Amino acid sequence: MARNLETRRAAEPRADDAMLPAPFLVQQLKLETDDTFTLALAPQEKNTEVDFQAGQFNMLYVYGVGEVPISISGDPAQHATLIHTTRAVGTVTKAMRKLKRNSALGVRGPYGTPWPVQHASGNDVVLVAGGIGLAPLRPVLYQVLGQREKFGKVVLLYGTRSPEDILFRSELEQWRARFDLDVHITVDRAPGTWYGNVGVVTTLIPKAPFDPHNTTAMICGPEVMMRFTALELQKRGVPSDDIYVSMERNMKCGIGFCGHCQFGPTFICKDGPVFSYSRIKDWLAKWEI
């Protein structure tokens, strides 16, 4: 979360401090689609910076309303702001969408396990996103593209319900223009003005340009989409140990105390949200929501 530049202490937070949010201020609120928005937050305390790893999440607290877990969608190399992208679907996120510049917001975190970006060094990297699942994967793209020489082919496969639901449009256009990144987008349904792919995101996997025996795959989206994506990747020859998914559950504490996010013998907030597919594949079909 926020780290004081003068002390730079690396100690773990005490349990009695873990539930206390730090004050942040809204720097910008950007509407991505009709129901999805991105918040840029800066620490209220001066001389602080933010640290997180791709795949981690924060607990965001709207004062007087409530708290929700939201994945961080910004660049891990940028330490001045925290970026979160979410849908306005509940009481807290709907209140969050109405915040103005310099509104105060509480932040706890970062929590959870990160994507295995360093483990993927030397491999092809395949990112498969469904809907708003692109937001938790966006930090991986920032990190990989910032160290592009360390990786083989980099492929982004992105599926949404319709063209109107596509996130981060300007960035996607920039990424598609690069010669060192393959971006493929598909929609479930489309009007006559759409000339791209139509169909679920798994239909992009058979022809995607990567070496399945030298690939690290990362998937984020609805659970049924992640399960079928993992199966399709395995059909291409990607081992289950090299496939990673980001799980989502109803989290209340973020630190494994409350038990709301129990998933089999694990807690999503503490043992996840990122898991290897081989670790949870036996539970995934049973626990789909």
Contact 86, 95 (CB under 8 A): no
Chain segment 81-97, per-residue pLDDT in tens: 999 999 999 999 999 99
SS3 at position 229: helix
- Single pTM value for the model: 0.91
Q: Rounded to a whole number, what is the distance in angstroms from the first to the last CA of the chain?
A: 30
Min mean pLDDT across 130-134, 212-216, 280-284 is at 280-284
Residue 214: the pLDDT is 97
Asked if pLDDT for residue 14 goes beyond 70, the answer is: no
Residue 256: the pLDDT is 74
Give CA separation, 159 vs 38, 162, 173, 267, in Å: 19, 9, 15, 28
Residue 47: the pLDDT is 82
- Computed over every residue of the chain, the mean pLDDT equals 90
Residue 64 to residue 257: CA distance in whole angstroms = 23
In the chain, which segments carry CATH 3.40.50.80? 124-284
Confidence at 12, pLDDT banded by 50, 70, 90? very low
Percentage of the residues of the chain whose pLDDT score is greater than 90: 76
Residue 31: both structure tokens together: 């509407």
Chain segment 166-222, per-residue pLDDT in tens: 999 999 999 999 999 999 999 999 888 888 999 999 999 999 999 999 999 999 999
- The DSSP code sequence of 205-220 is STT----GGGEEEEEE
In the chain, which segments carry CATH 2.40.30.10? 2-111
Residue 16: the pLDDT is 53
Residue 258: the pLDDT is 79
Asked if pLDDT for residue 255 goes beyond 80, the answer is: no
Task: Tell me the fold of 124-284.
Answer: Rossmann fold (3.40.50)
Residue 286: the pLDDT is 66
Residue 272: both structure tokens together: 């996840």
Rounded mean pLDDT of 16-24?
A: 82
Contact 244, 275 (CB under 8 A): yes
Confidence at 237, pLDDT banded by 50, 70, 90? very high
Min mean pLDDT across 133-137, 258-262, 284-288 is at 284-288
CA-nearest of 40, 41, 131, 27 to 89 is 131
Which residues have CB under 8 Å from 29's CB, separation 6+?
37, 38, 39, 40, 97, 99, 100, 101
The class of domain 2-111 in CATH terms is mainly beta
Residue 287: the pLDDT is 54
Confidence at 253, pLDDT banded by 50, 70, 90? confident
Asked if pLDDT for residue 55 goes beyond 60, the answer is: yes
Contact 137, 245 (CB under 8 A): no
Chain segment 98-130, per-residue pLDDT in tens: 999 999 999 999 999 999 999 999 999 999 999
Residue 261: the pLDDT is 78
